[in-house]
Amino acid sequence: MSEPTSRYALDNLNVLVLDDNRHMRGLVQSILHSLGVKNIREAADAAAAFKELQHFLADVLIVDWHMEPLDGLDFVRLVRTAKDSANPYVPIIMLTGYTEYRRVTDARDAGVNEFLAKPISARALYLRFASIIDNPRPFIRTKNYFGPDRRRQNLGAPRGVQERRKDAQDGESSDGLSQSEVESLLGS
């Protein structure tokens, strides 16, 4: 008996894109539309995004890091822990030009689910969606942390050479950590 074929249906998702750079917002929207996402909202700063979430039932947030006055990490902490947060459990993809070890662990400790280094490719963004859809993680509450379980999940065989090469071609393994090292740190 053949294995049933499964596919992603991103057209069923509501996605909020938070980035202070309008070109990057436009690019992410453009990719998402092409991947089938129909319901996308955007915000240029953290306060506007938080307000938007009060009436937009987002399934996934895509959040830039370097913003003012509140940065992406401040926003993630707000979503995860503020008393008036509309959905503390919503999956969050952190999209950023930062790839240093310290930055990735900071993002993990703030409660992000996935970390996507710019420059971005359509495949890389698609893979982050696939990861959060296929690997939902329980949440953890401790004295100092609230967010997705940060421990590494058993995802089967290690990623193949071809996939790592593809990541490199996508620009995911440039300066700083490679995407697979990032994934390991995030426990995804």
Contact set with other proteins (CB under 8 A): 3-10, 12-13, 21, 23-24, 26-27, 30-31, 33-36, 59-60, 66, 68, 89, 91, 96-98, 118-123, 125-127, 129-130, 132-134, 136, 138-143, 149, 171, 174-175
- Closer residue to other proteins (CB): 82 or 134: 134
Closest CA to 59 of 38, 34, 31: 38
- Closer residue to other proteins (CB): 12 or 184: 12
- Closer residue to other proteins (CB): 96 or 179: 96
- Closer residue to other proteins (CB): 10 or 40: 10
Tokens of 154: 């058993």
Closest CA to 69 of 47, 42, 52, 97: 47
- Closer residue to other proteins (CB): 7 or 55: 7
- Closer residue to other proteins (CB): 118 or 159: 118
Per DSSP bridges, beta strands 139-141 and 146-148 are antiparallel
Handedness of CA 36, 89, 107, 20 (dihedral sign): positive
In contact, 142 and 149? CB cutoff 8 Å: no
Bridge partners (DSSP) of residue 92 are: 61
CB of 34 to other proteins, least distance (A): 4
CB of 58 to other proteins, least distance (A): 10
CA distance 127 to 105: 20
CB of 84 to other proteins, least distance (A): 19
CB of 37 to other proteins, least distance (A): 9
CB of 183 to other proteins, least distance (A): 16
CB of 48 to other proteins, least distance (A): 18
In contact, 31 and 122? CB cutoff 8 Å: yes
Tokens of 39: 């319901």
